[in-house]
Amino acid sequence: MKKFVAVAVVLAFVAGGAFAISFSGDVMGQINVMEGSSADGDDDVVTGGSMVRARLTIEAANADDTFGALVRFQASGFGAPNAGVGTHTALGWWQPIPMFWLGIGFDNNGLFDAQGNSRWMFYREASDMTTNPGNAWGWGYSLQGQLGWNVWDFGHAFYVGYTAPGLAMSIRPIPELSINIGLPFIAGAVVQPAIPDGPLPEDPWWGGGSDAVSSNEIGDVFSAINLQARFNQAWGSVALTYRGSAEEYSPGSIFAYLNLRMIDNLDLDVGFGFHIRGEDHPEDTHIGIGLAAQYNINPDFGIRTRFMFGLDTADYYNFNVVMFDVLPFFTLGGNITIFCSVGITVDMFGGNGDSESALNWHLNPWVEIGGEWMPRFFAGFRLWSTNFPGDNGDANFINWAVPIGLVINF
């Protein structure tokens, strides 16, 4: 994980004794020096970029680690001169004994996640610097991502964690076993869109699901429970998670996760997501099957890869997908690392007897100068296809960009 340079101070509290408080943060900015496309009539070379984020993290715990807090303030201006500042994380916790932990608040990074290297950890901070930001989650170069649908991502095969405001608990009857619970007591102010009776191309499931509930009724809160059993060993871990839903169209989702580390230098993640519809759409089960791996061949050379198959069983309209990425990397000297991402996505969709498919690909080499989880400079080249059937004929062209970026961790 990140090596934070902490500024530690000790504050005295009348009721609670001494607290150790540390501060850390990061600033991330990215620029496309130039970018263009081979689309008909589009011969302009343009530029772009964004201030991805500026984040301040505050961590606190008392002397015996029974009480603590985690707070992250984040500004994401996307190029605006006055970036809006929001609260990314606000979580207070209590751990009176090692076997029990209780938190109130929220963490947008996701509590109790079971995803390994399948999502953000695949590209890590480069996902906002030199690659397509959407591809951090898996849909960036697919047809669905280019059209803005975001139908499938690796969060449909792997559990992304509990993010809703509310109550979180972890019970550990033995050191290897954790029973994790999330209940969105504070999420009642979040109102989801109304769900139509017919086909549901725009319902929240297509975006990876939501912890939020649309009322404060206690029945809805408990219907939206996140419940997980996780068993950790030296060889890896196994997790089984149920993510509930308070909406009538879906009873919830079930995730199974396996992480294996028994082979030296190999970190393997396997995920299975089973997403259930309710009474109005009982036939519309969605299944995500995912695989991710990182293998460090030696200290200077390694490779990451990931694969997902998304199956939509609806008969009136379906959208299936196969996504595959491979990312070799090697180190030159002490602080220069070269990466090259290659990937393909096959989108298959249809309904009422008709079917279409589209294959898209990307080639994305880049270099990072600076140590991992330390301040770095990024520079790369992106080349990717846009191929999809349209009402006025198939669209098939090539896009390119030359991105650079800075990540400053402190």
Using the structure block, give the residue that is written with the tokens 């970036």.
83
pLDDT at residue 196 in the model: 35
- The rounded distance, in Å, linking the Cα atoms of 317 and 149 is 14
**pLDDT, mean of residues 32-55:** 86
For residue 12, the cross-strand partners are 18
d(CA 350, CA 319): 7
Looking only at the bridges linking them, the beta strands covering 177-183 and 46-62 are: unpaired
273: Cα within 13 Å, side-chain hemisphere:
28
Question: pLDDT category, 198, cuts 50, 70, 90?
Answer: very low
Collapsed DSSP state (helix, strand, coil) of residue 63: coil
Alpha helices in 102-231 (DSSP H): 120-123, 143-146, 218-223
User: In this predicted structure, what is the pLDDT of residue 356?
Assistant: 77
Rounded to whole angstroms, how far apart are CA atoms 375 and 371? 7
Instruction: Say if residue 254's pLDDT is above 80.
Output: yes
Q: Do 277 and 284 meet the contact criterion of CB atoms below 8 Å apart?
A: yes
pTM above the 0.85 mark? Answer: yes
**How many whole angstroms separate alpha carbon 231 and alpha carbon 178?**
7
Residue 8 pLDDT greater than 90, yes or no = no
Burial label for 112, CB within 10 Å (0-12, 13-18, 19+), is buried
Q: Is there a contact between 46 and 36 (Cβ–Cβ < 8 Å)?
A: yes
In angstroms, rounded to a whole number, what is the distance separating the alpha carbons of residues 37 and 258? 41
**Residue 389: is its pLDDT beyond 50?**
yes
Range list of H helices, 208-339? 218-223
H or E segment and range at residue 241 = strand 236-244
What is the spatial distance between Cα 272 and Cα 114, in angstroms, rounded to a whole number? 11
Asked if residue 360 has pLDDT above 80, the reply is: yes
Q: How would DSSP label each residue in 300-367?
A: TEEEEEEEEEEEE--SSSEEEEEEEEEEEEEEETTTEEEEEEEEEEEEEEEETTEEEEEEEEEEEEEE
How many Cβ atoms from other residues are within 10 Å of residue 257's Cβ? 26
Q: Give me 259's structure tokens.
A: 């992480």
Kindly report the average pLDDT of the chain as a whole number.
82
DSSP state of 157: T
The pLDDT of residue 381 is: 97
Average pLDDT over residues 61-71: 95
Percent of the chain with pLDDT over 70: 76
SS3 assignment, position 386: strand
> What is the average per-residue pLDDT within 116-142?
83
Q: How far is CA 388 from the centre of its chain?
A: 26
